[in-house]
Amino acid sequence: MKRGIYFTITLLIFSASLCFAQKDRTVIKEDFKPASTNQPGRECTQVNSEGRVRASILAPEAQRVQLDISAVKYDLVKDTNGVWTGDSDPQDEGFHYYQLWIDGAAVPDPGSMYFFGAMRWGSGIEIPAKDQDFYAIKDTPHGQIREILFYSKSSHNICRAFVYTPPDYDKDLKKRYPVLYLQHGWGENEYGWPNQGKVNLIMDNLIAESKARPFIIVMAYGMTNEIRFGELRKFDIKPFQTVLIDELIPYIDANFRTLTDQSHRAMAGLSMGSVETKMITLQNLNTFSHIGLFSGGSIGLDDVKNVSEFKEKIKVVFVSYGSREIENMKNRPPAGPFGGDPQKNTDALKKAGISAHFYVSPNTAHEWQSWRRSLYEFAQLLFRD
Amino acid sequence: MKRGIYFTITLLIFSASLCFAQKDRTVIKEDFKPASTNQPGRECTQVNSEGRVRASILAPEAQRVQLDISAVKYDLVKDTNGVWTGDSDPQDEGFHYYQLWIDGAAVPDPGSMYFFGAMRWGSGIEIPAKDQDFYAIKDTPHGQIREILFYSKSSHNICRAFVYTPPDYDKDLKKRYPVLYLQHGWGENEYGWPNQGKVNLIMDNLIAESKARPFIIVMAYGMTNEIRFGELRKFDIKPFQTVLIDELIPYIDANFRTLTDQSHRAMAGLSMGSVETKMITLQNLNTFSHIGLFSGGSIGLDDVKNVSEFKEKIKVVFVSYGSREIENMKNRPPAGPFGGDPQKNTDALKKAGISAHFYVSPNTAHEWQSWRRSLYEFAQLLFRD
Interface-testing mutation among A67, A109, A146, A328, with chain B (most B C-beta atoms within 10 A): A146
For the segment A73-94, the average pLDDT, to the nearest whole number, is 97
Cβ pairs bridging A and B (under 8 Å): 215
Q: Is the pLDDT of residue B327 over 90?
A: yes
For the segment A44-70, the average pLDDT, to the nearest whole number, is 97
For residue A45, whether the previous peptide bond is cis, meaning omega lies within 30 degrees of 0, is: yes
Q: Is the pLDDT of residue A19 over 80?
A: no
Q: How confident is the model at residue B2 (pLDDT cuts 50, 70, 90)?
A: very low
> Is there a contact between B329 and B285 (Cβ–Cβ < 8 Å)?
no
| pLDDT given at position B26 | 56
Contact B110 A113 (CB under 8 A): no
| pLDDT given at position B127 | 98
B348 touches chain A (CB under 8 A): no
* Other Cβ atoms closer than 10 A to B315: 20
Cβ-in-10-Å burial (0-12, 13-18, 19+) of B305 comes to exposed
For the segment A340-346, the average pLDDT, to the nearest whole number, is 95
**Residue B148 with chain A: CB contacts under 8 Å:** 142, 144
For residue B224, the SS3 value is helix
Cβ-in-10-Å burial (0-12, 13-18, 19+) of A300 comes to middle
What is the C-alpha to C-alpha distance for residues A242 and A245, in angstroms, rounded to an integer? 5
Q: Which of A340, A238, A248 is nearest to A279 (CA)?
A: A238
Contact B61 A57 (CB under 8 A): no
Q: How confident is the model at residue B333 (pLDDT cuts 50, 70, 90)?
A: confident
| pLDDT given at position B249 | 98
Beta-bridge mates of residue A357: A318
pLDDT in tens, B253-298: 999 999 999 999 999 999 999 999 999 999 999 999 999 999 999 9
Q: Is the pLDDT of residue A115 over 70?
A: yes
CB-closest option in A41, A97, A119 to B8: A119
* Domains along the sequence of chain B with CATH: 33-128 (2.60.40.10), 133-379 (3.40.50.1820)
| pLDDT given at position B17 | 42
B102 touches chain A (CB under 8 A): yes
Q: Is the pLDDT of residue B168 over 70?
A: yes
CB-closest option in A61, A114, A367 to B104: A61
Question: In sequence order, what E strands does A70-192 have?
Answer: 72-75, 77-78, 83-87, 94-102, 105-107, 114-117, 120-127, 144-152, 157-165, 179-183
| pLDDT given at position A9 | 41
**Residue B368 with chain A: CB contacts under 8 Å:** none
| pLDDT given at position B36 | 97
pLDDT in tens, A174-214: 999 999 999 999 999 999 999 999 999 999 999 999 999 99
pLDDT in tens, B186-234: 999 999 999 999 999 999 999 999 999 999 999 999 998 888 877 777 8
Q: From B100, which residue of chain A is nearest by alpha-carbon distance?
A: A107
Main-chain dihedrals φ then ψ at residue A68, nearest 5 degrees:
-120, 105
For the segment A320-347, the average pLDDT, to the nearest whole number, is 90
| pLDDT given at position A29 | 96
CA atoms within 13 A on the CB side of B142: 23
CB-closest option in A59, A144, A146 to B103: A59
Q: Is the pLDDT of residue A2 over 50?
A: no
ipTM rounded to 2 decimals: 0.91
Spatial neighbors of B135 by CB under 8 A, at least 6 apart, are: B198, B201, B202, B205, B372, B376
Cβ-in-10-Å burial (0-12, 13-18, 19+) of A333 comes to exposed
**Residue A10 with chain B: CB contacts under 8 Å:** 106
What is the C-alpha to C-alpha distance for residues A334 and A347, in angstroms, rounded to an integer? 17
pTM of the model: 0.92
Q: Which of A213, A192, A381, A185 is nearest to A296 (CA)?
A: A185
**Residue B65 with chain A: CB contacts under 8 Å:** 105
Spatial neighbors of A131 by CB under 8 A, at least 6 apart, are: A373
- Residues 356-385 of chain A whose Cβ lies under 8 A from any Cβ of chain B: 366-367
pLDDT in tens, A224-237: 888 887 777 788 99
Q: How confident is the model at residue A337 (pLDDT cuts 50, 70, 90)?
A: confident
> Is there a contact between A280 and A267 (Cβ–Cβ < 8 Å)?
yes
CB-closest option in B7, B117, B271 to A119: B7
Q: How confident is the model at residue B140 (pLDDT cuts 50, 70, 90)?
A: very high
What is the C-alpha to C-alpha distance for residues B277 and B268, in angstroms, rounded to an integer? 6
For residue A375, the SS3 value is helix
Q: Is the pLDDT of residue A134 over 70?
A: yes
Q: Is the pLDDT of residue A23 over 70?
A: no
| pLDDT given at position B12 | 40
Q: Which of A67, A141, A148 is nearest to A102 (CA)?
A: A67
Q: How confident is the model at residue A26 (pLDDT cuts 50, 70, 90)?
A: low
Q: Which of B102, B97, B115 is nearest to A57 (CA)?
A: B102
User: What percentage of residues in chain A have a pLDDT greater than 90?
Assistant: 86
Contact B144 A147 (CB under 8 A): yes
Q: Is the pLDDT of residue B75 over 80?
A: yes
Q: How confident is the model at residue A334 (pLDDT cuts 50, 70, 90)?
A: confident
**Residue B108 with chain A: CB contacts under 8 Å:** 107-108, 110, 114
| pLDDT given at position A109 | 97
Interface-testing mutation among B67, B69, B113, B119, with chain A (most A C-beta atoms within 10 A): B119
For the segment A131-140, the average pLDDT, to the nearest whole number, is 97
Least confident of A39-48, A96-105, A330-339: A330-339
| pLDDT given at position B334 | 81
For the segment B15-32, the average pLDDT, to the nearest whole number, is 62
Contact A170 B229 (CB under 8 A): no
Rg (CA), chain B: 22
Q: From A57, which residue of chain B is nearest by alpha-carbon distance?
A: B105
What is the C-alpha to C-alpha distance for residues B152 and B316, in angstroms, rounded to an integer? 30
**Residue B10 with chain A: CB contacts under 8 Å:** 106
What is the C-alpha to C-alpha distance for residues A103 and A66, in angstroms, rounded to an integer? 9
Mean pLDDT computed over every residue of chain A = 92
Main-chain dihedrals φ then ψ at residue B293, nearest 5 degrees:
-115, 110
Q: Which of A376, A383, A385, A384 is nearest to A209 (CA)?
A: A376
| pLDDT given at position B8 | 43
| pLDDT given at position B233 | 78
Distance from CA of A290 to the nearest CA of B (A): 26
Percent helix, strand, coil in chain A, to 5, is 30, 30, 45
- Residues 269-298 of chain B whose Cβ lies under 8 A from any Cβ of chain A: 271
CA atoms within 13 A on the CB side of A359: 23
